[in-house]
Amino acid sequence: MDPSLPIAHSGFVAVHVGAGIHASKNKTRYLDACKRACLAGIEILRRDPLATATSIVEQMIIVLEDDPVANAGTGSNLNLDGYPECDASIMNGTTLGFGSVGAVSDFKNPISIAARILHESDLGPLSLGRIPPLFLVGSGATQWVDTMGYPLKRVHRVPPSLALDNDRKDTQDNSNNNMDQEVIQETLMTKTSIQQFLRFSEMLRKASNANTESSSPPKTYSEAKEGGTGDIRQGHEKLSIHKRKGDQVDDVHLSGPRVAPRLDPELLQDTVGAICVDRLGQVAAGVSSGGIALKFPGRVSEAALFGAGCWAQDPGAVSSGVACSMTGAGEQITKTLLARTLADAFLDQSKSTPIGGKGNKDQEKKSGISPRTIDIEEEAAPTVAEVAASILEGFVKSPLLRHSFGEKHAGFIALKVDPVESVSPRAASEEGAGSSPPIHAEFVFAHTTKTMGVAFMSTRDSKPTAIMSQKKPESDRVVYTRMVRI
């Protein structure tokens, strides 16, 4: 992208690479991926007058899905059977249309299937008045793409051992590019994801062996299926999964109390996402995830579920707009419908306090970035930051999560956009005759996890701002805001 290009079309974009515990050795790779995604979005905004926020969100997430450092698309975590299964969703703030896929393994970019499901659903009923789908899973999503005739990039679904064997044969044909050397060609697997799968599976075996030494092991999944007797689930305490010997994992049993060694925390970051507001003030949001490591086949995360993984709603004449993308513990985010909850809170708050109102005056004068993370407990925070903090507090204390295991993990990026009529005549005139009035918004990201990777950029910026946010040990959350004038 040529920074000298005139900014004929304005907008703002932001992306994240998950909230969790990111490996410090990969910090530069995470942030570089975020920067590239932002630059891709801004380049479209600058060059294409017909580009919509929805199409830009899709393209930014494609950049993140294609980077093996992120747990989405290429490089996704493998499930208990050793296969990647991906979830993705996207929402159009103008139509309030939504499209998503879950547990898909056959396509390079799951977000593109979700975007096409969104597009088709916005077109209205099918023949005979049938309702078009919003959410498709597994082979159903594959069949839908084939039926619709979309030329989306396909990948092979192969066992890890076969993927490694094929990769050894193709090594000499690969370029010297590090990313090409890491990726198992024509699959969503990487050498790292396979090594991680084998390592975690061995940890699982050792943990289950320790728990079953004093009792006879339950039937494996395959034995229960073929024999027709026995139950692979005995109460709440026993579960067994069958693995292929070719993948160096045989029958794995989980018995006794659900207590096991923790997986490497630096490999548990999840979910990528993006939000955008275009030159017309239209917003969109999306999210994509490879899910948790060693998940049960068919498990679907918040990244595919309506109201959980993302939300987008355009501003109206007197109402604010909002776009947000979630990340964290999928089941916890799903139970609390965190995306919809956050959007509702921002919209309710905007009825009494517009952006640029009390609490944001100083920041608006500076027209820039908040110089550091705001510690809500130590100093007065802007209204949007207060709302973000209260959402995280409500999430952690939610009665819906009373019986959830472990800590409560969530993070999000969000953008609150001012109502259209809130732009003053003076501000509009300053933009010049024939120009669209400026769009005022406030960007926020927040998380309860140790780290979260984020980047953002407007068409007024010369380069993206990328941050690997770290929570202080004494704090229970991080909230960061920036005023945006587009």
Instruction: Report the distance separating Cα 102 and Cα 138, nearest Å.
Output: 6
The token pair that represents 411 in the structure block: 């993070």
Residue of 74, 49, 63 whose CA lies nearest to 15: 63
Sign of dihedral through CA atoms 329, 334, 336, 340?
Answer: positive
Instruction: Report the distance separating Cα 381 and Cα 295, nearest Å.
Output: 39
Distance spanning both ends of the chain, measured CA to CA: 19
Label the pairing between strands 135-137 and 98-104: parallel
The b-or-e profile of 319-335 (16+ CB within 10 A means b, else e) is: bbbbbbbbbbbbbbbbb
CA atoms within 13 A on the CB side of 105: 19
Residue of 394, 409, 400, 404 whose CA lies nearest to 471: 409
> Which entry of 74, 187, 271, 459 is annotated as an active-site residue?
271
Contact assessment for residue 437 and residue 423, using Cβ atoms and an 8 Å cutoff? yes
Instruction: Report the distance separating Cα 66 and Cα 197, nearest Å.
Output: 20
Is residue 271 among the annotated active site residues?
yes
Contacts of residue 356, defined as CB under 8 A and 6 or more positions apart, other chains included, come to 364, 418, 422, 440, 483
**For 154, which DSSP code?**
B
Catalytically active residues are 271
